[in-house]
Chain A
């Protein structure tokens, strides 16, 4: 899952980047409204953390522009301005959730997971496809036999993205975009390596290869 953080406070955005990375997200940061809006428009993020008090363009304006341009990426508004009328404005502008500063990282992560799941149309609290159950906190996966398998950071991000989009054909490029942040070395061949590893851990038929198209995560498998 790839996240955009639009926050002008350097100390906060760096600490958030660190925390969210360790929670299994690929993270990009924009430090002003104009850059944030542009990145939100061109990069395929799975969720955006948006501060409202931004330099160059206010957060609410950025959010409104995204929504008029039909960018439906779930947005969590993160702000010190958390009076109720401001929350109402935020939701009216198209926010999916609202978190007042200061906050606990655990809460931010929980809410991010919730809005990502909601936008993927998953209503359950835990992420499960077929017989696989993903523990997003521990970054582990449980198989049919009830074994809990450890995942590396990239494996976790890749599997989580697959599990959010079961049965869909996902190209290598798309997988790369959602698993790595903007600054990472992007070598689509590396994705093949991680897919191989996931197959080794979860079974060969979990991820099907479609020649020239990409990969399909099969819900029935396990």
Chain B
């Protein structure tokens, strides 16, 4: 079981149910016991009343004067019965009519209680007590109908059960709410983690209950560490680039020296090799700088990051007087690294501006995946070269001039994010078209 809420819920609910069931059982048992005690006390009193008015005639016949008897004993099948036995004589209440109570005998001073079926098949409690009166042994059995009593008790039990059930239900609901409330900070942390993944937050709020605060702090520490590590590694790559490229520039400058220029073949080979080193350095450094999916860095937000990039490209291509048509979603946030996306977009739009005659179009979409669509009205790429561009593993930078290194970096970046790049001809502008798709993991 993985949900704390379910675990706590099941634990609490089962405890409550057991508790309520036990309580119900005890109450039921006590109620039954008490009411029986009460009934038996009444029967005892009545038995003694009957004993007091019982007369034995000389022939041993048992007589109770009519006016000394409760009505209920005379009304047939009233639910109140007696049976008195002394010697060979038996006296039954009139209410028994032609039926009889089971014959139970008791020695003087002895009391027996039995549950029997009465004359009209109703349940009876039968109390039998033995006495000695006028020197003879008398056994008096008093029967009392239990059906009404039982149905009263059942009603009571139903009412009681109903109240108990409602109380149980209420308690369960309160507990569920308490559990949910108690777990709300965890839910909040989970929502914040999702926001971090989507680049809306950079760290968790440390205003959390003390049980989870160490966890929150640890996550924040790791996030910071990851960010710092990446920044450090990017900085050192920047330094490395600087350290490598400056001497490379000096090498390139040397090709202008008279002694090299005077030998065109040497100059050509020299320039060619310097160019190869430049391309390799560039590509490998850019590849190494990629943050890739799931890394902590500043997140890419089209509406904040694209305008300055476009402004930069406009100043670079000021002389060309291009019409840049840019479309991106306002206020969209993406969980991908800003520098990676800037590099990719910069290369794509730069490439388009380089080849465009007048128009460049950029569309950014973040609805499902992050999609960049870049089109220009330049010469485009011939179909046979398009297939080459689409082939995986082809070193684009080696295979082409112009649409070179930039596109190779775009493909590397898209690969890094598990996305894909499609090259084609723009239907709208007639030139080159690149479509990049970066999947946005909307994980929960």
Which A residues are closer than 8 A to B by beta carbons? Answer: 9, 11-12, 15-16, 19, 53, 79-81, 83-85, 87-88, 91-92, 96-98, 100-105, 114, 118, 125
For the complex, what is the distance from the CA of A197 to the CA of B239, rounded to whole Å? 50
Which B residues are closer than 8 A to A by beta carbons? Answer: 238-239, 241-254, 256, 274, 278, 286, 289, 308-309, 311-312, 315-316, 318-319, 338-339, 342-343, 345-347, 350
B residues less than 8 Å from A12 (CB atoms):
246, 249-250, 253
Among B252, B286, B315, B343, the residue within 8 A (CB) of A91 is B315
Whether the Cβ atoms of B238 and A81 lie closer than 8 Å is yes
For the complex, what is the distance from the CA of A56 to the CA of B254, rounded to whole Å? 28
Whether the Cβ atoms of A114 and B346 lie closer than 8 Å is no
A residues less than 8 Å from B245 (CB atoms):
80, 100-102
Subset of 30 A-B contacts with CB under 8 Å: A9-B246, A11-B247, A12-B246, A12-B249, A16-B253, A19-B253, A80-B238, A80-B246, A81-B242, A83-B342, A84-B312, A84-B345, A84-B346, A84-B347, A85-B339, A87-B346, A88-B308, A88-B342, A91-B312, A91-B315, A97-B315, A98-B312, A98-B316, A101-B246, A101-B248, A102-B245, A102-B251, A102-B274, A103-B252, A105-B256
Known contacts being A96-B315, A102-B248, is A84 close to B342, with CB within 8 Å?
yes
For residue A27, give the distance in angstroms from its CB to the closest CB of chain B.
Answer: 14
B residues less than 8 Å from A97 (CB atoms):
315-316
For the complex, what is the distance from the CA of A96 to the CA of B254, rounded to whole Å? 27
For the complex, what is the distance from the CA of A9 to the CA of B248, rounded to whole Å? 12
For the complex, what is the distance from the CA of A98 to the CA of B244, rounded to whole Å? 18
B residues less than 8 Å from A88 (CB atoms):
308-309, 312, 342, 346
For the complex, what is the distance from the CA of A111 to the CA of B241, rounded to whole Å? 23
Interface centre among A79, A80, A97 (most CB of B within 10 A): A80
- Of all A-B residue pairs in the complex, the 8 with the closest CB atoms, nearest first, are A84-B346, A80-B245, A102-B249, A101-B245, A80-B242, A15-B253, A85-B342, A91-B312
Whether the Cβ atoms of A83 and B246 lie closer than 8 Å is no
B residues less than 8 Å from A19 (CB atoms):
253, 256
Among A83, A85, A91, the residue within 8 A (CB) of B311 is A91
Beta-carbon nearest neighbor of B307 in chain A: A88
For the complex, what is the distance from the CA of A104 to the CA of B250, rounded to whole Å? 10
Whether the Cβ atoms of B241 and A81 lie closer than 8 Å is yes
A residues less than 8 Å from B311 (CB atoms):
91
A residues less than 8 Å from B241 (CB atoms):
80-81
For the complex, what is the distance from the CA of A59 to the CA of B316, rounded to whole Å? 19
For the complex, what is the distance from the CA of A16 to the CA of B246, rounded to whole Å? 12
For the complex, what is the distance from the CA of A92 to the CA of B246, rounded to whole Å? 24
For the complex, what is the distance from the CA of A19 to the CA of B252, rounded to whole Å? 12
For residue B281, give the distance in angstroms from its CB to the closest CB of chain A.
Answer: 9
For residue B277, give the distance in angstroms from its CB to the closest CB of chain A.
Answer: 9
Whether the Cβ atoms of A92 and B252 lie closer than 8 Å is no
For residue A29, give the distance in angstroms from its CB to the closest CB of chain B.
Answer: 14
For the complex, what is the distance from the CA of A104 to the CA of B252, rounded to whole Å? 7
Among A53, A79, A87, A114, the residue within 8 A (CB) of B312 is A87
For the complex, what is the distance from the CA of A53 to the CA of B236, rounded to whole Å? 12
For the complex, what is the distance from the CA of A118 to the CA of B316, rounded to whole Å? 12
For residue B163, give the distance in angstroms from its CB to the closest CB of chain A.
Answer: 70
A residues less than 8 Å from B248 (CB atoms):
101-102
